Amino acid sequence: MRSTGAVITEIVEAYNGRFGQWVPISEIAQPASLTKEELAEAIAELIEEDDFRAEPAAFRHRVTPEDEDLAPVIGGEARHLIRWS
């Protein structure tokens, strides 16, 4: 398992400067082959930052099976989308 810092770096690289855009968790996880466990730890740390958000998908019919499988559960909610502002 990669360190949380390494996973955060992978997430930032996969997000690829799309600041202000909601990005599905599968688009972030798949390029770097991140696991649900790695995502959960990294996103739990990132969510403490003021400019980072991780949210459940507002329209559940748009959640892909991959997003459902990979979404970390934080505060009792699956977080399907991430964004930096």
Domain boundaries, the chain: 4-84
Q: Whats the size of the chain, residue-wise?
A: 85
Q: pTM of the prediction?
A: 0.91
Name the pLDDT band for 61 (thresholds 50, 70, 90). confident
Q: What is the pLDDT at residue 40? A: 95
Residue 40 neighbours by CB distance under 10 Å: 18
- Whether 60 has a pLDDT exceeding 90, the answer reads no
Average pLDDT over residues 56-61: 89
Q: Are 33 and 13 in contact, with CB atoms under 8 Å apart?
A: no
Q: What is the pLDDT at residue 1? A: 72
Closest CA to 39 of 4, 81, 83: 4
- In the chain, the largest separation of any two C-alpha atoms, in whole Å, equals 33
Average pLDDT over residues 18-26: 95
Name the pLDDT band for 21 (thresholds 50, 70, 90). very high
